[in-house]
Amino acid sequence: MAALTLTDLFAVPALDRSLAPALQQALDGKAKPPGALGRIEELALTLGLIQRRLKPIMERPVLLVFAGDHGLTRSGVAAFPSGVTVAMVDALLTGKASANAFARVVGAEVRVIDAGVAADLSDRVGLIQAKVASGTQDASLEPAMTPAQAEAALLAGARVAQGAIADGADLIALGEMGIGNSASAALLMHRLASEPLDACVGQGAGHSAEGMARKRAVLAQAAARSDVTAPFEVLTQFGGYEIAMMAGALLAAARAGVPVLVDGFIGTAAVLLAVRLAPAARDYCLFAHASAEAGHRLMLDAMNARPLLELDMRLGEGTGALLAVPLVKAACALLSEVAELTDVLEAAW
Ligand SMILES: O=C(O)c1ccc[n+]([C@@H]2O[C@H](COP(=O)([O-])O)[C@@H](O)[C@H]2O)c1
Ligand SMILES: Cc1cc2nc[nH]c2cc1C
């Protein structure tokens, strides 16, 4: 098979809506008042359209956790040291992180990918090795990555999603781990959603008032360095590798007709990037939760997205996406398992 190119990856087909009337009729005919299952009915219709089936199936959800480091941390945008990225990759690989625990609860598989961690992880068992570089450059001083690195990261993310889908994944959940990536995501949001930088900056994994002031100042310096707004250029200027790979994974899943569960602030920034690169990708996304990170709501609004859950979470790793898996499964079960109202009434009378 010919190697995937960015042109292929950006050619996401528009969602085929031809089954919408039949799906709506099926939902209205179930043993319940029309519309009584609210947003689960909306979700069921979306899943039917994406899978092109009147009875969508959800048997093998797979969480992809992309990990990467950020040169911006050298300028003090994060409260935690970037070594925490490695420690959490090890926790994720050994089943000890929150995402692993939640994945066990909802019956999802977890795959962990080295997108650009600033440490040699070549000896880690079970880690998908896709490192483009050992962390991005410090985006407050220079471009986070080269165009060739951005392209490599988008394509590597696509290949990881294609691999999971080839193994039977029928739902891709996107997660990430990367100290400093809330800073990178804020810069992406600023440029891709055209929001003032201050509205895009939140506390990330945690910050004192002094830390927040430093984060804002460093990001203002980064934003002043380059005025790009075109999505690929915004990625090269502001990073990061795990964000690029999540965007690539979404585009590959959309092309394969596989729905994607979107997690928090950083995952949503990756989706915004993907949607600016290929607008049709938006219709393959299921937005799992509203993160407590300031700016997340506004970023969701930029894509007209209404998240399923609101739990005041701001962890990342895909934890919010995982908690929405049972809702997705329930939406499938509604279309495939619930009786027709006419059959139920006939049986009773
Ligand atoms: O998912 C979110 O909404 C979210 C919001 C804030 C922080 N995080 C996580 O915290 C890390 C980024 O925070 P920071 O302060 O290091 O930029 C990264 O590992 C993310 O997974 C995640
Ligand atoms: C401990 C820790 C765990 C995380 N998981 C995702 N982002 C994280 C950030 C930190 C700091």
Instruction: For residue range 289-301, list pLDDT tens digits in order.
Output: 999 999 999 999 9
Residue in 69, 174, 182, 268 to alter for ligand 1 test, most ligand atoms within 8 A of Cβ? 182
Sign of the Cα torsion 111, 116, 118, 124 reads: positive
pLDDT digits (tens, 9 = 90+) for 110-142: 999 999 999 999 999 999 999 999 999 999 999
The set of catalytic residues is 317
80 lines ligand 1 (CB under 6 A): yes
- The answer to whether domain 16-57+332-348 has CATH 3.40.470.10 is no
Helix axes 231-238, 209-225, angle to 10 degrees: 130
Point out which residues pair with 67 in neighbouring strands: 114, 177
Distance, CA of 188 to CA of 272 (rounded, Å): 8
| pLDDT confidence band for 160 (50 / 70 / 90) | very high
Q: Report phi then psi at 43, rounded to 5.
A: -65, -45
Q: How confident is the model at residue 1 (pLDDT cuts 50, 70, 90)?
A: low
Name which of 144, 145, 139, 115 is nearest 127 in CA terms. Answer: 115
Pick from 66, 82, 84, 322 the residue to mutate for probing ligand 2's pocket: most ligand atoms within 8 Å of its CB.
84
Ligand index nearest the alpha carbon of residue 266: 1
Q: With residue 214 as reference, give the H or E element that holds it.
A: helix 209-225
Residue with tokens 């993160």: 291
The token pair at 126 is: 């079970």
Task: Give alpha helix (H) positions in the chain.
Answer: 6-10, 20-28, 38-51, 83-93, 98-106, 147-166, 181-192, 197-200, 209-225, 231-238, 241-255, 265-277, 296-302, 319-323, 325-337, 341-348
Task: Kindly provide the ipTM of the predicted complex, given to two decimals.
Answer: 0.99
Query: What pLDDT does residue 349 have?
Result: 80
182 lines ligand 1 (CB under 6 A): yes
Looking at the chain, which residues constitute the CATH 3.40.50.10210 domain(s)?
Answer: 61-327
Q: Are 270 and 278 in contact (CB under 8 A)?
A: no
Residue ranges of the chain assigned to CATH 1.10.1610.10: 16-57+332-348
| End-to-end C-alpha distance for the chain, whole angstroms | 59
pTM above threshold 0.95 = yes
The CATH number that domain 61-327 falls under is 3.40.50.10210
Percentage of the chain exceeding pLDDT 90? 98
pLDDT at 256: 98
What number of residues does the chain have? 349
